[in-house]
Structure 1
Amino acid sequence: MSHGSSYPVGRSSSPTRALPPVPASTLAHDRPAVPPAVRLLAAAVCCLLALGLVGVVFVWTQPGQWIDGLLLPRAERGGGYEQSSDLFGPATVVLRHFGRPSLLAVLLAAVLVVGLLGRRLLPGVVGVGMVLGAVLAAGAAKSALPRPEFAVAGSTTHNSFPSGHVAVATALALAFLLVVPAAVRRWLVLPGAAGVSVIGAATMIAGWHRFSDVLGGVLLSVALFCLAAAVLAARPGGAARRLPAVPASGRAWRVVAEGAVGLLVLVWVVRVLVPGLATALRWGPFVAILAAAGLTMLAVGVAAFLIRSVEFGGPAQSSDDRTSGR
């Protein structure tokens, strides 16, 4: 009686023919992806459209001006938008220090130094240009755009859209994303968004800007960032890294989970740093600050996600990495 399998082991009764290799293009996870430069240009256009939409709704319509005034009502005395809160003093201190040209010069120099140390000097130069472009664009928009008079109670015709302080803070946070390795960027999203949120909250508490101005400053800088990143990604040598084969649904859930955790941490940081925020402000400014912080977190997170597969320089790749597209 024989035991075990009756099939021959280690030898074949008939010659075998090797199957032809399956083309990589037929695999779901190896489908040709949209080039990073095209993806970034599309995102820049979307941000510019959103910026225009925010300006049209909040600046050039009566309901928009009314919503801005509802969130940040004018002060009962003095006619300004300063919020009667114990946070007014700290807000003005934050803005006074952040508005110093010397501090801006130090932060821009830090972008260049990080880029130089990581062999990303060109992205560092582009990042500095992006910050300066945000300053010029915000200033030009505030000077050129009119603010119609709709006889909205508590509203003025002084145009402050978009916020230059918020635009510069956002551009600085995004400039550092250009000069660090791709694996490090996600760790800069939360600190960057928190810093921008603090500047945005300070401008609203001090009465320098409305809620729409803060949102406009964020959108302006994200649009400039996408344009700058598209130029860097399209240049010779700006190749994308090859990502591991992860289903699209898995990537989406990971992004959503990281965004949710980031928002929770951001809210926790705000509560720890400013424990009396809810009690120190009326509901309008409180809602405006939380909404601006959440939208800022979303915008900075999306910007980091758009360049997740792009290295803007750094140490030279090996020959195996270049041939495999990594």
Structure 2
Amino acid sequence: MPHGSSYPVSRSSPDPARAVPSGRAAVPPGLRLLAAAVCFLLALGLTGLLFVWTDRGQWVDGLLLPRAERGGGYEQPGDLFGPATVVLRHFGRPTLLAALLGGVLVVGLLGRRLRAGVVGVGMVLCAVATAGAVKSALPRPDFAIEGSTTHNSFPSGHVAVATALVLAYLLVLPGWARRWLVVPGAAGVSVIGPATMIAGWHRFSDVLGGVLLSAALFCLAAAALTVRRGGAAPRPRATPVAGRAWRPFAEGVVGLIVLGGVVRVLLPGLAAALPWGPLVAILAAAGLTALAVGLAVFLVRSVEFTGPVDPPQRRAAHPGAVERLLATDSRTAGR
């Protein structure tokens, strides 16, 4: 009679049901960032198409930032013209820009994100080169708009560099520290952008184009960093839709209020020193800048740009588990 047992030797218990991730959690961060980059590029192209290559857009640009009666330039006379030129002169210093770029590398090295720091520096340099190439290559049609010129200044290189510098620090900072950069970073860009308009260097569309260009380059750089060797970026946890929606909305409202207070403190006579056209352009540029920086922080909320992640290893069996299983089988078979 063959020895055997009617009892099963080993039977694996059914695995517990896994929670189905939400739609947002199922989208890889790299794909989400690439989609955002495409949206920013489309917005950049649409801004250039409407404000630069249509007569109505050139008219709106001139309405927001009219040319000065004396000299024929776009300088806005008043008490803010002097401070604006001082801000631009200091920001354009090579030593300051080199120090800010070096800070990106230092923060990346200290946080074990040196690769992200190198990509951030490359992103800033790419913003400079791209803005210069676009301004040189694209013509500005002459629609015989009163006060308009054929000199193309779209997009603004100063605003593109300022925005790219803020976004470069987002790549090297940990996730918990990025949101603390939104208000000071957006406030800094909101000072550089209006300064270029008050000094007569750029129009409103140029400032908006510089912000959109750097935002698109940031999304492309962040998407490239999420492709890691030997691993993938962590997937965000699934949370209720209501819990996802109210928090960024509340933070955005608070950030805009704080940004308005910062601009009011830095430029107390802004409303009294400018006519309504430049004032609307400055406020709109500040709000859109804060929106772009806040959206960048939201897009990388669940991604850490640290070094390569090792592939996940299978959990080793407990020592002696196999031996105990074989001994149980032999005792069962000998019955």
Length-normalised TM-score, structure 1: 0.88
Equivalent position SS for 2:152: coil
The aligned residue for residue 228 of structure 2 is 235
- Tell me whether 1:178 sits opposite 2:162 in the alignment: no
- Alignment partner of 1:168 is 2:161: yes
Counterpart in the other structure of 2:45 = 52
Alignment-derived partner of residue 283 in structure 2: 290
CA contact (8 A) 1:238 1:310 kept: no
- 1:75–1:83 contact (8 Å) kept in structure 2: yes
Q: Offset of 1:30 from its aligned partner? A: 8.6
Is 1:154 the equivalent of 2:147?
A: yes
Q: 1:261 aligns with which of 233, 249, 254?
A: 254
1:24-173 matches, cutoff 5 A:
24-26=18-20, 29=22, 33-173=26-166
Contact 1:118/1:314 (<8 A) preserved:
no
Quick one: structure 1 residues 32 and 94, their matched pair in 2 at CA, closer, same or farther if it must change by over 3 Å?
closer
Counterparts of 1:309 and 1:299 in 2: how far apart (Å)? 18
Separation in 2 of the partners of 1:32 and 1:118?
A: 26
Cα distance in 2 between the residues matched to 1:49 and 1:316: 33
How far has the Cα of 1:85 moved from its partner?
1.4
SS at match of 1:158: coil
Distance 1:287 1:129 in 2: 34
Q: CA deviation at 1:148?
A: 0.3
Whether the 8 Å CA contact 2:164–2:215 is kept in 1: the answer is yes
Question: Displacement of 1:105 after TM fit?
Answer: 0.5
Alignment coverage as a number of residue pairs: 304
Deviation of the 1:241 alpha carbon: 3.4
Partner of 2:17: 23
Partners of 1:269 and 1:254 in 2: CA distance = 22
- Matched with 1:7 is none
Q: Distance in 1 between matches of 2:221 and 2:236?
A: 22
Shift of the 274–24 alpha-carbon distance from structure 1 to 2, 3 Å rule, reads same
Name the structure 2 match of 1:210: 203
Q: CA deviation at 1:23?
A: 2.4
Task: Tell me: CA distance 1:245–1:42, structure 2 relative to 1, closer, same or farther (3 Å).
Answer: closer
1:247 counterpart = 2:240: yes
- Distance in structure 1 (CA, Å) of the matches to 2:251 and 2:106: 29
Corresponding residue for residue 10 of structure 2? none
- CA-CA distance at 1:84 after TM superposition: 1.1
Report Cα offsets for 1:248-273 as digits up to 9, x if no partner.
22111111110010001101111111
The alignment partner of 2:226 has SS state of helix
Which runs of 5 or more structure 2 residues have no equivalent in the other structure?
1-12, 316-335
The CA RMSD over aligned residues, in Å, is: 2.2
State the alpha-carbon separation in 2 of the partners of residues 296 and 143 from structure 1.
24
Cα separation, partners in 2 of 1:109 and 1:213, compared to 1, 3 Å:
same
For 1:196-252, what per-residue CA distance to the aligned partner results, in whole angstroms no more than 9, with x for missing partners? 110001000000000000000000000000000000001225633354442122111
Distance in 1 (alpha carbons) for counterparts of 2:230 and 2:124:
24
